[in-house]
């Protein structure tokens, strides 16, 4: 995602949100009119926040299976694909060279114990290679890349430990594969978040929250018996709050309730104490 793409998303999303807010201001239905009491309104608001949160999560899960977990950061996605390709290109010759070294060692060794180990080596190599190839069939995404890096690292470490003492130059071949593995793992360690998805999630959540708050005239402040100036502003704020998800919604409700309790305590007349 380039800087121009970010600005385009922010501009379009902001215009859509502004239009949604304008629509909310056109409503003339009383706040929370469709609910029997404040408890029912609060329950619906928190439920809507959870629903939006799960909907966005499901959307990213579906898109992750189709476009990969790095979308819309296409530059990052290209880098990951390149590093994964380098890993595959380095691991394949590592396995192939290892099989050749096994065949060469079998011709010159006279030790029965070593001969038996070398007889088992091709099956070990093929088993590890098949496990790596199966992981490549997974849907593109961060988890797939992490599993590939872990499987490649385990392959190299296992074969080095088991056959390093009987195969010539195995350490040198392993270093090439380790370089590709470490490069991929280092890159993954530096990329732990997808700011493009976070940006889209915030705007999409706010839009869905505004739609729900506008349709049902939801006002979390009125439900908690707190007065907010201007008629439609509380509904807009409620919609944005719902769009932020269940955590922020519960936290704001808790803070408002605590504010009410503190204000009630300050307004309560204190009894006169004898001097």
Q: What is the pLDDT of residues 240-271, one digit of tens each?
A: 999 999 998 999 888 888 877 777 665 555 55
Q: What's the pTM?
A: 0.63
Percent of the chain whose pLDDT exceeds 70: 82
Neighbouring C-beta atoms of residue 208, cutoff 10 Å: 20
The pLDDT assigned to 76 comes to: 66
Does the structure show a pLDDT above 70 at 2? no
Which band of pLDDT confidence, cut at 50, 70 and 90, is reported for residue 213?
very high
Alpha carbons 106 and 109: distance in angstroms, whole number: 6
Alpha carbons 51 and 59: distance in angstroms, whole number: 12
Alpha carbons 220 and 238: distance in angstroms, whole number: 6
Does the structure show a pLDDT above 90 at 55? yes
Lowest mean pLDDT among 95-99, 137-141, 219-223: 137-141
The pLDDT assigned to 74 comes to: 64
Domain boundaries, the chain: 13-70+194-260, 74-190
């Amino acid at each position: 995602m380039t800087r121009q793409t970010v600005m385009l998303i922010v501009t379009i999303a902001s215009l859509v949100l502004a239009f949604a807010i304008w629509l909310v201001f056109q409503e003339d239905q009383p706040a929370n009119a469709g609910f029997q009491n404040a408890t029912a309104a609060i329950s619906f608001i928190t439920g809507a926040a959870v629903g939006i949160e799960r909907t966005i999560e499901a959307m990213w899960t579906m898109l992750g299976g189709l476009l990969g977990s790095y979308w819309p950061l296409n530059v990052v996605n290209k880098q990951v694909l390149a590093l994964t390709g380098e890993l595959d290109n380095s691991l394949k010759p590592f396995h192939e060279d290892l099989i050749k070294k096994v065949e060469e060692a079998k011709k010159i060794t006279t030790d029965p114990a070593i001969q038996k180990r070398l007889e088992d080596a091709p099956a070990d190599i093929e088993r590890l290679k098949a496990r790596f190839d199966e992981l490549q069939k997974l849907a593109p995404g961060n988890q797939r890349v992490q599993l590939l890096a872990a499987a490649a690292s385990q392959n190299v470490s296992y074969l080095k430990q088991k056959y390093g003492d009987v195969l010539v130059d195995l350490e040198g071949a392993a270093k090439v594969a380790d370089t590709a593995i470490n490069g991929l793992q280092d890159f993954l360690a530096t990329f732990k978040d997808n700011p493009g998805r976070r940006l889209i999630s915030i705007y999409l959540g706010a839009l869905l929250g505004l739609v729900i708050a506008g349709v049902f005239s939801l006002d979390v402040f009125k439900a908690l018996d707190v007065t907010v100036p201007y008629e439609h502003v509380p509904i807009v704020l409620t919609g944005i709050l719902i769009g932020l998800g269940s955590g922020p919604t519960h936290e704001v409700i808790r803070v408002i309730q605590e504010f009410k309790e503190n204000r009630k305590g300050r307004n309560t007349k204190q009894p006169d104490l004898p001097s």
